[in-house]
Amino acid sequence: MKKNEEEDDDIQINQYKIVVLGDGSVGKTSFILRFIEDSFQMSYKQTIGVDFFCRRLELSKNVVAAMNVWDIGGQSIFGKMIPTYLTQANAIIFLYDITNYQSFIDISDWVELAKKSASSSGNSVLNVLVGNKCDLAHMQAVNVNKHIDVFSDKVR
């Protein structure tokens, strides 16, 4: 038994805070649940405020990544709490719906909000832009080239 306890002491756990931002109904919660639980819910339930999820990934025998994912309600872009939610984030995922062009345009507002919050904290944050609902490609309103051209310089 003592050998297992010693092995547990050698495990390195790295914690990461990931915040997912985007307009309401772009699929942030579904995106997160697919990552956390590998599940998908057919019904829509609006996120009010913020929800939290966690997933541990074993990167190697002795290294674990604890991914703390914050699901921010999309209706709250002008909410006073968003800068607080972004505090100490290691990564921000900006999510839009490929079938909703306005959700793509609104990403620039989310990016500016995140930049203001990051500049006041001084943290280096990984920014990622994700087009969601790719299973609805037949209804696609955002061209992949626009995704790359318009926002690649803003999210880096």
Q: What is the H or E stretch that residue 52 is in?
A: strand 50-60
pLDDT at 1: 43
Distance (Å) of CA 58 to CA 32, 37, 62, 90, 141: 18, 15, 8, 18, 37
pLDDT tens for the 156 residues of the chain, in order: 444 545 556 889 999 999 999 999 999 999 999 999 988 777 777 777 788 999 999 999 999 999 999 999 877 676 788 888 999 999 999 999 999 999 999 999 999 989 887 766 666 899 999 999 999 999 999 988 887 776 665 555
Assign residue 65 the CATH number of its domain.
Answer: 3.40.50.300
Q: How many domains does the chain have?
A: 1
CB burial string 61-83: b at 16+ within 10 A, e below: eeeeeebebbbbbbebbeeeebe
Could you tell me where the DSSP H helices lie in 10-156? 28-37, 82-86, 101-105, 107-121, 144-155
Q: Which residue range is the domain that position 45 belongs to?
A: 2-155
d(CA 54, CA 31): 14
Q: For 29-62, how does the pLDDT look when each residue is reduced to its tens digit (9 = 90+)? A: 999 999 999 887 777 777 777 889 999 999 999 9
